[in-house]
Structure 1
Amino acid sequence: MADYNYSEFSTTDYDFKNVHGPEIGDKAPDFALMTTEGDTKRLTDFTGDFLVLEMGSITCPLFQSRRGIMETLNRQSGVSTAVLYVREAHPGADVPGHKSFDDKKACATRLKAEDGETRTVFVDGLEGEAHSAYGSMPNAVFIINRNGCVVYRSEWNNPSATRKAVAALIAGRAVTAKDYFRPAVPVTVFRTLSKAGKGSAADFFKGLPFLIWTNIIKRNLRLFFGRTRTGSARTTC
């Protein structure tokens, strides 16, 4: 990919045909990253039995649509949650693609200060080293157990499936939830793209037919007929 921090969204910026990043049973990639509070912590240095790690940015309608449910997971005993702040999914005139790490940290800080995000927010490096290690999708989610192993993953976060996965893990069961693609709430889409500024919405709607065909139709059909790989609290890697 020539330009990680693209200035205009295009469907060619992502690989929708292949799954990248750690699979269930793989060791979770670990990085020392700065948080929005200015502390440097390791990504997988968490308390509890599980970490729910979600990729996101303030210009990603999918991420913004899921935040309400995802933040509640942190209230469950034994569960830690965090956001890995990645590149802007749909940059525009008001929230452009990042030109420096300070730009990226400023956007991540806005997520906390303006949008009220309550989870720990890790700021990835300017060129997205951690994001790339986790597959580079804009709103992927991973659940990591105390052994440092990935026990659940989805290249597109379906918050209902993620919540079911967490419930199963807490209960000591293997995860069987299927992560069907679930579109963003329309009002959140328009609010997010409007906040990003001119150009953001045009680029999004230009790619929308492809995104619908690739994710809502092809991906969901593939999941429906496919088998689910399972992970649990006991998974080792």
Structure 2
Amino acid sequence: MNMWQVKNLYWVSAIAMLVFGCENANTDKLPLDTDKIALMTSKGVKNNYKDFDKIGYHKGDKILDFTLFSLDGIRFSFSEVLKNKKPILLISGSYTCDITRRNMLDINSIAAKYRNFINVYFIYTIEAHPSDIAGPYSKDNLLQLSTENIKEHIDAKQPKTYGERKILAKLLQQKSYVMLPILIDNPANNFWLSFGQSPNTAYLINPNGTVYFRQTWFRFRDLDEVIRAIIRQ
């Protein structure tokens, strides 16, 4: 990521705070449950959904430090977690993302299998397929309900506040048996904006804060091979 892209991330965060009133975006302060969520469309939907790989950090990029909070309000700073000299694996998703739910067994498996070698976190982001409005992956601004969501009776509105986002994160944790720590993206969606803007991405971060491996779409087999290779080094 070049300097212009880094500066652009800061500007996106600043604009989101001004427009949506997200005073706590990308700070060490726990967001209020009443803080409004910034609703937006992913840049990845451009070029007929072919632009996801172009967005966010790539191999070798130094990530900006992020502070996110757990469902219980516990603070997690990436820079602090990296001090234990273990890689960090960050996997994103949401309750209305059918791909995330389908992958949850594999996500839990990765977290359990390598818990002694890497720190794994699930980052709860903007809803992929809300039932009330067009989601962030609808290029024509139309309601986009997935077949799997309809079949499984997954019906959830896009959260308007940080508190509503936490409620859905808790629902995913309970219904999909999420076994790894869940961190909630802030109201300005800073994590989602910086890390690819896709529904179920995975980032493996070196202890020095650089990206070692990225998956725009979580894939267990490829990720498992990469982690095993790191451990063998």
Contact 1:98–1:126 under 8 Å retained in 2? no
Task: Decide whether aligned partners of structure 1 residues 99 and 57 sit closer, same or farther in structure 2, where only a CA change above 3 A counts.
Answer: same
**Residue type of the alignment partner of 2:125:** V
**Residue type of the alignment partner of 1:50:** P
Task: Decide whether aligned partners of structure 1 residues 53 and 14 sit closer, same or farther in structure 2, where only a CA change above 3 A counts.
Answer: farther
Contact 2:71–2:184 under 8 Å retained in 1? yes
Task: Decide whether aligned partners of structure 1 residues 43 and 109 sit closer, same or farther in structure 2, where only a CA change above 3 A counts.
Answer: farther
Distance 1:103 1:12 in 2: 29
Partner in structure 2 of residue 16 of structure 1: 50
Deviation (angstroms), 1:120: 0.9
Task: Decide whether aligned partners of structure 1 residues 11 and 146 sit closer, same or farther in structure 2, where only a CA change above 3 A counts.
Answer: closer
Deviation (angstroms), 1:133: 0.9
Task: Decide whether aligned partners of structure 1 residues 48 and 60 sit closer, same or farther in structure 2, where only a CA change above 3 A counts.
Answer: farther
Aligned alpha-carbon RMSD (Å): 2.7
**Residue type of the alignment partner of 1:16:** K
Contact 2:110–2:220 under 8 Å retained in 1? no
The one of 59, 70, 78 aligned to 1:43: 78
**Residue type of the alignment partner of 1:146:** P
Distance 1:58 1:83 in 2: 12
Q: Give ranges in structure 1 of 5+ residues lacking alignment.
A: 173-237
Task: Decide whether aligned partners of structure 1 residues 138 and 80 sit closer, same or farther in structure 2, where only a CA change above 3 A counts.
Answer: same
The one of 25, 32, 35 aligned to 2:67: 32
Contact 2:104–2:176 under 8 Å retained in 1? no
Partner in structure 1 of residue 187 of structure 2: 126
Distance 1:103 1:68 in 2: 25
How many pairs are equivalent?
170
Superposed CA deviations along residues 108-163 of structure 1, whole A, max 9, x for unmatched, are 11122332211111101123111101121111110011111110001111111111
Distance 2:208 2:71 in 1: 26
Partner in structure 2 of residue 83 of structure 1: 122
Q: Give ranges in structure 2 of 5+ residues lacking alignment.
A: 1-11, 17-36, 133-154
Under a length normalisation based on structure 2, what TM-score does the superposition of the two structures give?
Answer: 0.65
Distance 2:48 2:183 in 1: 22
**Residue type of the alignment partner of 2:75:** T
Task: Decide whether aligned partners of structure 1 residues 119 and 45 sit closer, same or farther in structure 2, where only a CA change above 3 A counts.
Answer: farther
State, as a whole percentage, how many aligned pairs show the same letter.
22
**Residue type of the alignment partner of 1:68:** L
Distance 2:120 2:193 in 1: 20
**Residue type of the alignment partner of 2:121:** A
Helix, strand or coil at the partner of 1:83: strand
Distance 2:47 2:97 in 1: 14
Partner in structure 2 of residue 66 of structure 1: 103
Contact 2:202–2:217 under 8 Å retained in 1? yes
Helix, strand or coil at the partner of 2:212: strand
Contact 2:101–2:176 under 8 Å retained in 1? no
1:141-160 map, 5 Å: 141-160=202-221
Deviation (angstroms), 1:4: 5.4
1:5 aligns with 2:66: no
Task: Decide whether aligned partners of structure 1 residues 21 and 79 sit closer, same or farther in structure 2, where only a CA change above 3 A counts.
Answer: same
1:155-174 map, 5 Å: 155-172=216-233
Deviation (angstroms), 1:12: 5.7
Contact 1:34–1:122 under 8 Å retained in 2? yes
Under a length normalisation based on structure 1, what TM-score does the superposition of the two structures give?
Answer: 0.64
Contact 1:48–1:79 under 8 Å retained in 2? no
